[in-house]
Amino acid sequence: MSGGREVVVAPASGFCGGVAAAVKKALNVARNRRRGNIFLEGELVHNGAVSGQLSALGMRPLQRDSVVSREDTIIIRAHGISPERRFYLESFGCKIVDCTCPLVRRIARTIEANKCKKIILLGDRNHAEIEGLCGYSGNIRVCENLAELARCIDSVCVDYKNNVNVCKNQDPDLGETDDWVIVCQSTLDVNFLDAAGVLCKKKHFPAEIFDTVCPATKARQCGLEALKSCDAAVVAGGFHSANTRRLFEKIGAWVPRVFWVEDAAQAAEIDLAPYKKIGIAAGASTPRDVLRKIFDEISKKIA
């Protein structure tokens, strides 16, 4: 608190266990490298500072024209990949280090266990995690929002309530079964999942819903409650980080002015003069030292 102004940091901000473990594993690969190149299959985690650190250690993105030898190592991103992609990477015959978060693997297992059913996957269709998960079943439809889910249900249901012609089977990509399950991206907005449950009930859509939002995501979304009384908030994290975007969107419903920054230099550019109580929240892929620098910068500005 300074001159009646204060900075509040949301609980559970910054690196989650899955991201911390992935980064640690990748750094260990770099430290223990004897020979060969290290390639990254996708961005390890969606954060520019982490990507810069790995790049400085000589890790390179695996590209279409990359020449991979048996002495090289490929690191699989925390968001995971499809079985087909894994099979392709294994064909190089080099060492594979899998940094997929165990909680993303758990979602993949849930999909695999239900692959004879029709699956609705709630999440961002262009996100790496969803792209990887879609490879675990041929019966998946992705819905990014409630309107898409409603359309999806309407397109397959005639009348579940009266058990009449329960499925039109209009989608040739989906199997013959009438059993449906709903699974979600690990970083989904928990309110979306709740609303999906309400919608299914309302439409008498008998899907089994698996709450696969990870505990770290729930803790970070729940932590935003601590910022409700702020008149401005700064969300810290990569601009292409899905979980950071979710925090940015959610806090915007409560706090009149929200800024999104990736680092302390961007935080230094923000005009916080009109605000008294400033909240800070950071995505699960934001390193703690980046969060600390942003906190210091904002504290300096309001001192």
Binding positions for ligand SF4, rule: CB under 6 A: 16-19, 78, 101, 103-104, 186-187, 214, 216-217, 243, 284
C-alpha neighbours within 13 Å on the C-beta side of residue 72: 21
Partners of 233 in the beta sheet?
258, 279
Q: Between residues 79 and 277, which has the closer beta carbon with respect to ligand SF4?
A: 79
Residues 6+ apart with CB under 8 A from 175: 116, 117, 118, 138, 139
Q: Between residues 45 and 272, which has the closer beta carbon with respect to ligand SF4?
A: 45
**Could you tell me the smallest distance in angstroms from the CB atom of residue 257 to ligand SF4?**
26
**Could you tell me the smallest distance in angstroms from the CB atom of residue 129 to ligand SF4?**
8
**Could you tell me the smallest distance in angstroms from the CB atom of residue 101 to ligand SF4?**
3
Tokens (6 digits) for 260: 């999104």
In angstroms, the CA 12 to CA 25 distance is: 22
Q: Between residues 13 and 186, which has the closer beta carbon with respect to ligand SF4?
A: 186
**Amino acid at position 250, single letter:** K
Q: Dihedral of the CA atoms 129, 133, 134, 136 (nearest 10)?
A: 160
**Could you tell me the smallest distance in angstroms from the CB atom of residue 300 to ligand SF4?**
30
**Could you tell me the smallest distance in angstroms from the CB atom of residue 103 to ligand SF4?**
4
In angstroms, the CA 198 to CA 291 distance is: 36
Q: Between residues 73 and 186, which has the closer beta carbon with respect to ligand SF4?
A: 186
> Helix, strand or coil for residue 300?
helix
**Could you tell me the smallest distance in angstroms from the CB atom of residue 185 to ligand SF4?**
9
Q: Between residues 40 and 200, which has the closer beta carbon with respect to ligand SF4?
A: 40
User: In the bound complex, which residue of the shown chain has the CB atom lying closest to ligand SF4?
Assistant: 18
Q: Between residues 16 and 119, which has the closer beta carbon with respect to ligand SF4?
A: 16
Partners of 60 in the beta sheet?
39
**Placement of tokens 């990254």 in the chain:** 40
CB distance 289 to 263 below 8 Å: no
